[in-house]
Structure 1
Amino acid sequence: MAKCVIPVLLSWSLVACNTGTVTEDTSLQSAAWQWQLPTNFPVPFVPADNPMTTAKVELGRHLFYDLRLSGNGTQACGTCHLQEKAFTDGLAVAKGSTGEFHPRNSQHLANVVYNTTLTWANFSLSSLERQMEVPMFGEDPIELGINDKNKEEVLQRFVQDSQYQQLFSQAFPEQNQAINYANIIKAIASFQRALISGNSRYDQSLTGKATLTASEIRGKDLFFGEKAECFHCHGSFNFNDQVRHAGSRIVETPFHNTGLFNIGGTGEFPFPNRGIFELSGKAEDMGKFRASSLRNIAVTAPYMHDGSIATLEAVLDFYAAGGRNITEGIHAGDGRKNPFKSELVTRIDLNEQEKADIVAFLKTLTDDEFLTNPKFANPFTQAKQP
């Protein structure tokens, strides 16, 4: 895969050993942080108050996987975001550190640096730093469960750890007391920004390093063509329609009602999963959610904001039907007739072969290198996890 290497900032560099310990690599202390980007990927946007450094990314990786970053010490960010599943968890909805279920499905983190907004349905969360406050300190639902009663105890777990004393001092060398929540958030956000995925078979085919099968090519043509028209919501280099990068001049934040529900024919979605309506209160925003990137989609089942569709094949059936018709139960209603449904979601006349071809193409978006890259992996062995 052709890549452009873009130096960003001189920084420290760390090497994580598989024993869970960290040693300083003095030979790399003067190395620059570099974006390893495919040639068709733009330079990511990074906020000026949290520049990327190698040391900060490495600190963020440790914090991302550390169970101690939860009130009761039982859960980490990595609990709900597993690398082998493109940083999802395989569950219909996420489960927090206290056992409380989140109403929504854990989103994958591949190329999250390019997302304009960061959750399924919150137009106000547009930075990774701001979003990180939600799982850490949120009370409804409880995720990591850090609160006023335990936040000092949680912080002391890192203050008293000699390994983290070193990690923080290398990531924030200008600060005398670097171990604080602001820096924890900055470090995790930096690690998340480093999660670049762009070496799937589809990407390789663009540079002549891989060849798609006849079925995959037919699926690609349907995906980007006028029959299926998937490209309207998934046509960017990141296969979504909310993209921000360093060169962005206009930043759009579309959300879509896809006809997943239409309770009682009223257009209603189940509370509290009613899309950006929960924030705006506008009737036309009922059931509007962000279109997720389709990269690595084959490993991120189940699908939709509530994890209610189990397979890619079922997702294709749903979109081909122009929505979902629920015939019984408390959520009964014909989503195909939802009055707030996007005009982009209409019935598509696809035969079984065409559906299979589109699924075959979607599977070419799996980036095996990303799913196994040791730079993104848990630095703690099971035996050494604090």
Structure 2
Amino acid sequence: MTVESTAARKPRRSSSKRASAGPKQPAAAEIQLVQLLTPEGKRVEHPEYSIDLSAEELRGLYRDMVLTRRFDAEATSLQRQGELGLWASLLGQEAAQIGSARALRDDDYVFPTYREHGVAWCRGVDPTNLLGMFRGVNHGGWDPNLNNFHLYTIVIGSQTLHATGYAMGVAKDGADSAVVAYFGDGASSQGDVAEAFTFGAVYNAPVVFFCQNNQWAISLPTEKQSRVPLYQRAQGYGFPGVRVDGNDVLACLAVTRWALERARRGEGPTLIEAFTYRMGAHTTSDDPTKYRRDEEQEAWLAKDPILRLKTYLEQTGCADEAYYAEIEAESDVMAKRIREGVRSMPDPDKMAIFENVYADGHALVDEERAQFAAYQASFADAEEGN
């Protein structure tokens, strides 16, 4: 008899006698979300977070989400065509980004990750400029201080420390502006985020930590990172945490506006967990079919952020078919401009990588520059020899 079959015959111990596995994270249905617009497009009220928007403002939110999604789709297509080296899609997270970004004032400052294309749109960054880094022709094609929107951060979680330090400086300057740090559920496991929470709380920094919990840190589900809902982590640092329906643009706007006003009043940080879903791949180098079920994606598809706002607009008579056609035409024009803009981006000077490494130059960099120049020249010499 094999060891395996012997083990199979032994009675299992009861769960009460086994080592405790710790508290189980509650199911999403058990956790109260701040929600103002249901997946069916029905408007509901919340006792603590309310918002009153005009028909024009509602149409503006819809336009932002539609154009952001179209831009994202174009970028994905460009990567598949070999025009970009990589792309990180925001598909499904439009409400979290547009809602939170439209709560910002011009003098607020944003520290993004590499997926905040909707936030960049709201801050006035040209979509084409976002693609230079992914094409490999620059390190970010915009001036961060022009739109108070920092360059994309690839290092996971590090921008939360940058945001907290900046917010501490804002407080010392006596300004009444606020700072927002965007990060994902995966980044919440990084030490940088824990340190940012500590500094933000101790120094009462005017910073809003906006976590887009899209359920997957590449292939790792949220329950493998935390035994409690992410927003509850704020309790241990001494500031409030709120979980909001991340597919509800109205709720994201209302909660973020509340958190920003709180920060401006000198009441310190807030952690917002936008409970949403990444409908696409982590990046274009990822294959999500390897680790998640089709049923899961279909369930979230029914909660689509754009569809629910469109339903509400139709039910309230705030938009008609002519308006939707106008937005569709605008998205076509934008997509064409982006395609042409990406393909016409000039390649950078190969020697530029040695510039601005040191303010006053360095002997080692000079040596490396000379070696690289000689290496490049060798290709020309080989071609002439042929």
- Quickly name the TM-score band, shorter chain normalised: under 0.3
Structure with the higher helix share, 1 or 2: 2
What TM-score comes out, normalization by structure 2 length?
Answer: 0.28
What TM-score comes out, normalization by structure 1 length?
Answer: 0.28
The structure whose Rg is larger is 2
